[in-house]
């Protein structure tokens, strides 16, 4: 139970309780991203991309968390679109990537985050 002083008004008490309840929810993801803690699949994805010369800077991103978000986004896109459509979208947004790097970006995302879409890669 959150201990709120009795002399505070109802609105102040409500705000105090809401802040106490939401602060951990808001700060937890930020703390995780700042400390560089990734799941095993996320860490593997980042290592695989780095092995192909794809770093956050290559994609115009600031950190690995953004790269992981892109991997999950690729999976979401593959849920609704063909591999060719997703491939074209990546080419449009990151024209600096080679076809081999684009294939790696998509292939590693599928292998690490959404194996159910593996059939779309063939």
Across the chain, mean pLDDT equals 78
Give domain limits for the chain: 1-37, 38-121
Per-residue model confidence (pLDDT) at position 115: 87
Residues 91 and 102 sit within 8 Å (Cβ to Cβ):
yes
Mean pLDDT for 80-89 is 92
Per-residue model confidence (pLDDT) at position 3: 52
Question: How far out from the chain centre does Cα 116 lie?
Answer: 18
Range with the lowest mean pLDDT among 27-31, 47-51, 69-73, 96-100?
27-31
- pTM for the model: 0.67
Q: Is 113 exposed, middle or buried (0-12, 13-18, 19+ CB in 10 A)?
A: buried
- Rg over alpha carbons for the chain, rounded to the nearest Å, is 20
């Amino acid at each position: 139970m959150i201990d709120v002083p009795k002399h505070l008004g109802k609105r102040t008490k409500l705000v105090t309780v809401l802040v106490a309840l939401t602060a951990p929810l808001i700060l937890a993801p930020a703390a995780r991203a700042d400390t560089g803690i990734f799941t095993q699949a996320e860490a593997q994805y980042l290592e695989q991309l780095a092995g192909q010369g794809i770093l956050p800077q290559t994609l115009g991103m600031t950190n690995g968390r953004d790269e992981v978000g892109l991997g999950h986004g690729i999976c979401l896109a593959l849920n609704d679109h063909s591999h060719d459509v997703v491939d074209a979208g990546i080419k449009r947004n990151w024209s600096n990537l080679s076809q081999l790097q684009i294939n790696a970006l998509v292939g590693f995302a599928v292998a690490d985050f959404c194996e159910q879409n593996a059939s779309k890669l063939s």
